[in-house]
């Protein structure tokens, strides 16, 4: 399998590598802990391959650093964590298909129960298996994605009370625009969720976890914290809003120059000839492309850092390579490191995730989660220089 080859330390691989700095991950978790206090639980979200950082290694690290439980999107992610020997509570946040229920119970995964029908399905399968399922009630306070509408919570609670083989361990909802400068809709969602929490208490569900705050909720809306928070992208050092932040970026994506050439005036570069040299110039090729998650939308808009200077990506990004224009006088040679995401250690020039998102017309979440699994991850335990020098 490709994953086994990427982990084979005896092989000299292509130089494109994602360095994951676990000490920064620890810093970010501790910063979030300092905000929400010691008494609230932290559900660390590790869905989508831990936002591109590597599901199992990051989940283990977060639990070691003090996260109380984990959250994933799909059943398969939860099973992968269980098969890796992780025993902490895991909530699967995504929608539930009825024939999956037995797997949730078999692997001791907490279920997001979004309707009374889903609760009945879970309870029936749990009864047949002679086991008890754990569920978090999912209510919709304005996202309109999953969950019973907040003002119909009683139907959900009635179904939960009828269920004999199902234990309610939490109730939750999701904020639709917690990073928005206009807080009015988020305030409305918080008020709606408080109504749900109060109703749960009246129905006897008092000791369950109440969680609403995603990363934006954690960073910008203390009223959304309740007794558990669900940070995602903030754990990885990327705040939902651009600007100064005490969070530290965890991922650094780098490669190396593998080819150098002089492109003559009037010559075009890459597929569909979208860029033409206006003068004789130096162009280098880097072995990373949209097949790795470096998006094609960065064609003729993205920048990289070589030898402490920013240079533009020119021509269409291809599946396995991109080209960079160094200009007539630019300096770059075969083997030189190319910073695609993150900081150049020597110059401190940084290619930020928010910048890349802006260049490609998307959001930071997509920039991180599209980094393909064929890009090897190297995990740094300490604040050490994440350079390719040891891999050359």
The residue behind tokens 């160094």 is 326
Find the angle CA(14)-CA(19)-CA(21) to the nearest 5 degrees. 165
Q: Which one of the listed residues 167, 259, 271, 333 is annotated catalytic?
A: 271
Residue pair 369/48 in contact by the 8 Å Cβ criterion: yes
Q: From CA 224, how far away is CA 205, in angstroms rounded? A: 19
As a whole number of angstroms, the distance between CA 278 and CA 169 comes to 64
Contact status, residue 218 vs residue 36, Cβ threshold 8 Å: yes
Active-site residue, 65 included: no
Question: Which tokens sit at 244?
Answer: 């100064």
Q: Which of 47, 118, 138, 210 is catalytic?
A: 47
3-class secondary-structure state, position 27: helix
Q: DSSP state, 351?
A: E
Phi, psi of 287 (to 5 degrees): -80, 65
Contacts of 258 (CB under 8 A, 6+ apart): 15, 285, 286, 287, 334
Which H or E element spans position 111?
Answer: strand 110-113
Cα angle vertex 246, ends 244, 249, to 5°? 90
Identify whether 259 is a catalytic site residue: no
Q: Which of 368, 87, 152, 124 is nearest to 253 (CA)?
A: 368
**Buried b / exposed e across 194-228, counting CB within 10 Å, b at 16+?**
bebbebbeebebeebbbbbbbbbbbbbbeebbbeb
Going 88 to 92 to 238 to 297, the CA torsion angle's sign is positive
Of 318, 121, 139, which Cα lies nearest the Cα of 212?
139
Angle at 309 between CA 304 and CA 313, to 5 degrees: 30
Neighbours of 359 (CB within 10 A): 19
Measure the CA–CA gap between 208 and 214, rounded to whole angstroms: 18
Q: Which are the contacts of 51, defined by CB distance < 8 A and separation ≥ 6?
A: 45, 232, 233, 235, 236, 365, 368, 369
> What is the C-alpha to C-alpha distance for residues 104 and 48, in angstroms, rounded to an integer?
18
Give the residue numbers marked as catalytic. 47, 271
């Amino acid at each position: 399998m490709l994953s086994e080859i990427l982990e084979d330390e005896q092989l000299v691989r292509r130089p494109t590598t994602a360095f994951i700095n676990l000490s920064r991950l620890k810093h970010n978790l501790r910063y979030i802990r300092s905000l929400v206090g010691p008494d609230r639980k932290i559900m660390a979200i590790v869905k989508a391959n831990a936002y591109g950082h590597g599901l199992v290694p990051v989940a283990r690290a977060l639990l070691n650093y003090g996260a109380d439980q984990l959250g994933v999107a799909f059943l398969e992610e939860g099973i992968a964590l269980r098969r890796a020997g992780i025993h902490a509570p895991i909530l699967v946040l995504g929608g539930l298909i009825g024939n999956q229920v037995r797997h949730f119970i078999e692997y001791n995964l907490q279920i997001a129960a979004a309707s009374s029908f889903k609760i009945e399905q879970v309870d029936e399968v749990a009864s047949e298996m002679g086991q008890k399922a754990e569920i978090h009630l999912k209510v919709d306070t304005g996202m309109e994605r999953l969950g019973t509408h907040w003002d119909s919570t009683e139907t959900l609670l009635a179904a939960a009370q009828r269920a004999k083989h199902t234990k309610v361990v939490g109730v939750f909802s999701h904020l639709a625009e917690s990073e928005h400068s206009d807080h009015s809709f988020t305030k409305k969602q918080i008020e709606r969720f408080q109504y749900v929490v109060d109703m749960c208490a009246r129905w006897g569900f008092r000791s369950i976890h109440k969680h609403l705050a995603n990363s934006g909720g954690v960073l910008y809306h203390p009223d959304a914290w309740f007794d558990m928070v669900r940070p995602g992208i903030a754990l990885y050092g990327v705040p939902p809003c651009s600007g100064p932040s005490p969070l530290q970026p965890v991922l650094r994506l780098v490669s190396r120059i593998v080819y150098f050439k002089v492109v003559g005036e009037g010559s075009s570069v890459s597929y569909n000839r979208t860029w033409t040299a206006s003068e004789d110039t130096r162009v280098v090729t880097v072995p990373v492309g949209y097949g790795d998650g470096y998006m094609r939308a960065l064609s003729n808009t993205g920048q990289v850092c070589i030898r402490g200077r920013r240079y533009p990506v020119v021509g269409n990004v291809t599946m396995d390579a991109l080209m960079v224009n160094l200009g007539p006088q630019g300096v770059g040679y075969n083997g030189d490191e190319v910073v695609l995401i993150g900081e150049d250690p020597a110059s401190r020039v940084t290619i930020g995730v928010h910048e890349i998102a802006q260049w490609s017309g998307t959001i930071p979440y997509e920039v991180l989660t599209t980094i393909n699994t064929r890009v090897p991850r190297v995990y740094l335990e300490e604040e050490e220089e994440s350079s390719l020098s040891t891999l050359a």
